[in-house]
């Protein structure tokens, strides 16, 4: 069932973006506003763990969600810039790559028997 894969991906993608935000705020306090590094000490390991979970999640859900390699590589590349996993998740929902409410995913490419152009 692809619904559980889509829901899982969406949760991890959003969590990765939120952890990036926490780390960025921690870095702002450490390097700009004060020498307090508690934010980096807290959000650094959290973000690192969620980053690894995101990469593994992309590799696990790409098959059930029928993502092409370009879509998969875009999902992986989205993990590098801050908040791009959230942007990728929004794009994937809008283009039918993931949808938590449907039982079937839209393929990333047209198939032989498809009526799509």
CA distance 17 to 10: 11
* CA gap 113, 92 in Å, rounded: 23
Q: What 8-state DSSP symbol labels residue 42?
A: H
Taking the C-alpha atoms of residue 64 and residue 6, their distance in angstroms, rounded to an integer, is 9
What per-residue confidence (pLDDT) applies to 74? 96
According to the model, what pLDDT value does residue 114 have? 52
Alpha helices in 1-117 (DSSP H): 2-28, 38-61, 69-77, 84-94
Question: What is the mean pLDDT, run by run of 10 residues, along the chain of 117 residues?
Answer: 85 94 90 86 93 97 94 96 92 86 49 53
Q: pTM of the full predicted structure?
A: 0.78
The pLDDT of residue 102 is 47
State how far the Cα of 68 lies from the Cα of 32, in Å rounded to an integer. Answer: 42
Q: Identify the pLDDT of residue 110.
A: 54
Cα–Cα distance, 70 to 72 (Å, whole number): 5
């Amino acid at each position: 069932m692809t619904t559980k894969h889509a829901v899982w991906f969406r949760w991890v993608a959003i969590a990765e973006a939120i952890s990036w935000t926490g780390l960025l705020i921690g870095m702002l306090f450490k390097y700009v506003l004060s020498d307090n590094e508690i934010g980096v000490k807290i959000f650094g390991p959290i973000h690192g763990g969620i980053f690894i979970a995101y990469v593994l999640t992309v590799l696990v859900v790409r098959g059930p969600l029928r993502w092409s390699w370009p879509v998969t590589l875009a999902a992986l590349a989205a993990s590098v810039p801050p908040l791009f996993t959230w942007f990728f998740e929004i794009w994937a929902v809008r283009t039918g790559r993931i949808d938590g409410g449907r039982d079937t995913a839209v393929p990333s490419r047209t198939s032989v028997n498809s009526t799509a152009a």
